[in-house]
Chains A and B, each alone.
Chain A
Amino acid sequence: GAVVSQHPSWVICKSGTSVKIECRSLDFQATTMFWYRQFPKQSLMLMATSNEGSKATYEQGVEKDKFLINHASLTLSTLTVTSAHPEDSSFYICSASSPGLAADTQYFGPGTRLTVL
C-alpha cells in the first residue's frame, strides 16, 4: 500500500512555543491530506482537511489560528501548533488520499506524540 511518513515521531516542548509536524506521502501524490488528533483510548478526531494549494477546512471547534495547516505540494502537508499549552498534548495523526486511489482510501502516517510541559 501507499506509504505516509510523519516527522517528528515525538516532540516535547515548553509551554508557549510553536511546534511544526510534517506529513509526507512517499510514493504517491496526495491531493488531500487530513489531520487528526487522538486522545488515549479514544477514537480519532478529525481536525481539518487540506487540499493541495488551497486553504484548509477546519472542523467545528478547531481553532484555525492555533493549528496552522499548510499543504504546499502534493507530497507535503504541515501542521503547526502555535503557542502550545499542556492541553494541546496529544497524538497527532495525518492521512493522505487522492481520488485515484482504490476505494478512496486514506493512508495514515505513524503519528506524532506531542507533550507540552
Chain B
Amino acid sequence: GEDVEQSLFLSVREGDSSVINCTYTDSSSTYLYWYKQEPGAGLQLLTYIFSNMDMKQDQRLTVLLNKKDKHLSLRIADTQTGDSAIYFCAESPPDDSWGKLQFGAGTQVVVTP
C-alpha cells in the first residue's frame, strides 16, 4: 500500500471550505505537492510547499505543513463545482533517485450545489 496516506472521500457544499489531509513518511522530503485529477485526465499541479515552510497561500488554496507530525493539508476556500476531482498529495523523498514521487491514494472531493 501507499506510504503516503489520505482520506479517500470528502463531500462539501458549494461555497464552503474544503480541507484535505495527508500524512507522509519521510521528514527529510524537500518538497510536498498537491495534484488535482479530473475524470479521464492526467494530473494537474495545484501547488507545492518547500519543507522549511509552515504555510503557503495561493489564491483560494492554502497549504499547511506540520513537519513534526508529518501532516500536510490543503484548504480550498469557496469551493466550486469545478473543484470536484481527485486530489493527490505527493512527497519527494531525498533518498530516492531524483524526481521520484510517492503519491497518496487520492481523496475524491465531491462538491454538491
A113 to chain B: closest residue by CB = B40
**A77: Cβ under 8 A from any B Cβ:** no
The answer to the question of A42 belonging to the interface, with a C-beta cut-off of 8 Å to chain B, is: yes
From 75 to 117 in chain A, residues with beta carbon under 8 angstroms from any chain B beta carbon are 93, 95, 97, 99, 103-111, 113
Q: B45 in the interface, Cβ–Cβ < 8 Å?
A: yes
Q: Is the pair A103, B43 in contact by a Cβ cutoff of 8 Å?
A: no
Chain B interface size range? 20 to 34
| B48 to A, closest residue via Cβ | A103
The verdict on A49 contacting chain B, using a C-beta distance below 8 Å, is yes
> Min CB distance, B68 to chain A, in Å?
22
Taking the complex as formed, is A44 at the interface, i.e. its CB lies under 8 A from any CB of chain B? yes
Do B50 and A103 have beta carbons less than 8 Å apart? yes
Tell which of B45, B48, B97, B100 touches A107, judged by Cβ atoms closer than 8 Å. B45
Q: Chain A residues near B2 (CB, 8 Å)?
A: 43
In the complex the two chains form, is B99's CB within 8 Å of A104's CB? yes
How many positions in chain A have a CB within 8 Å of any CB in the partner chain? 25
A25 at interface by CB-CB < 8 Å: no
Chain B residues lying within 8 Å of A108, measured Cβ to Cβ, are: 35, 42-45
Per-residue interface assignment for chain A, residues 10 to 54, with 1 indicating a CB less than 8 Å from any chain B CB and 0 otherwise: 000000000000000000000010100000001110100100000
B45 touches A1 (CB 8 A): yes
Instruction: Determine how close the nearest CB of chain A comes to the CB of B40; give it in whole angstroms.
Output: 7
12 contacts between A and B (CB under 8 A): A1-B45, A6-B42, A42-B106, A49-B100, A57-B97, A103-B31, A105-B45, A105-B48, A106-B99, A108-B35, A108-B45, A110-B41
A interface with B by C-beta (< 8 Å): 1, 4, 6, 32, 34, 42-44, 46, 49, 57, 93, 95, 97, 99, 103-111, 113
Interfacial residues, chain B to chain A (CB-CB below 8 A): 2, 30-31, 33, 35, 40-45, 48, 50, 88, 92, 97-101, 103-106
Q: Which 6 A-B pairs have the closest CB atoms?
A: A108-B42, A108-B43, A110-B42, A111-B42, A103-B48, A103-B31
